[in-house]
Amino acid sequence: MIKENILRIKEGLPSGTQLVAVSKFHPAEAIMEAYEAGQRIFGENRPQELAAKAPVLPKDIQWHFIGHLQTNKLKMVLPYASLIQSIDSLHLLEAVNSWCVREGTVKDILLELHLGAEETKHGLTEEEILSVVENAGNYPGVRICGLMGMATNTEDESIIRGDFGRISALFKRIRSNYPGMDSFKELSIGMSEDYMIALEYGATFVRIGTAVFGPREY
């Protein structure tokens, strides 16, 4: 079942778009089933869960952290995650940068744009993102690889398109204003319900949980 889902979803993705299989709340066995179908990028949103799973699963898995990250949990996430997709505040950005500088490493990150309405308060404003990119030299511990966003949770497709349109426009604006910033090339938008729409807006990562692993039991 998981294998068929992965193969079917990947078949529908253009060549420049990668699947992030969101494995939160699903056990190691489910991840191994996806792994055996060729999947290598997995997304987790809880620090403890990532820190428990990563050491017991294959070393060539690329873990993407996609959830809200508190600065006191960095040591559970940064050693395992190859990409932090959810840099959702300047405070977190500073903390990740300092941690990496101290450790002598550089971590790949995406800046999360606040999209949608009241349901989430996490995310950077467009102004904050533009200022971070302009001052990227202040953050030697991170490599800014692009943007991430979560559309409003609604059935109304025009609202979803509005959200994806906004993040896609910001992404293109930064790309054209900073042509020398080679790392800035990822746009992570789209989940199980809306990823087909996200493809129209240039998604390079789609983050899909339910449509790969089935419903989560909370």
If the CB atoms of residues 22 and 78 are measured against ligand PLP, the closer one turns out to be 22
Minimum gap (Å) between residue 101 Cβ and ligand PLP: 27
Minimum gap (Å) between residue 80 Cβ and ligand PLP: 17
Helix (H) or strand (E) holding 129: helix 126-134
If the CB atoms of residues 62 and 192 are measured against ligand PLP, the closer one turns out to be 192
Minimum gap (Å) between residue 25 Cβ and ligand PLP: 9
Task: Output the six-digit token pair for 92.
Answer: 């977190």
If the CB atoms of residues 9 and 100 are measured against ligand PLP, the closer one turns out to be 9
Minimum gap (Å) between residue 23 Cβ and ligand PLP: 10
If the CB atoms of residues 73 and 98 are measured against ligand PLP, the closer one turns out to be 73
Query: Rule CB under 6 A: which residues touch ligand PLP?
Result: 22, 24, 45, 66-67, 150, 191-193, 207-211
If the CB atoms of residues 170 and 191 are measured against ligand PLP, the closer one turns out to be 191
- The CB-based long-range contact list for 55-59 (8 Å cut-off, 24+ gap) reads 55/80, 56/28, 57/28, 57/31, 57/32
Residue nearest to ligand PLP (CB): 209
Cα(103)–Cα(97) distance, integer angstroms: 10
- Torsion angles phi and psi, residue 173, rounded to 5: -65, -45
* CA neighbor of 46 nearest in space, from 74, 80, 72, 69: 69
If the CB atoms of residues 61 and 69 are measured against ligand PLP, the closer one turns out to be 69
* CA neighbor of 6 nearest in space, from 49, 46, 55, 42: 42
CA atoms within 13 A on the CB side of 72: 0
CB 186 within 8 A of CB 204: yes
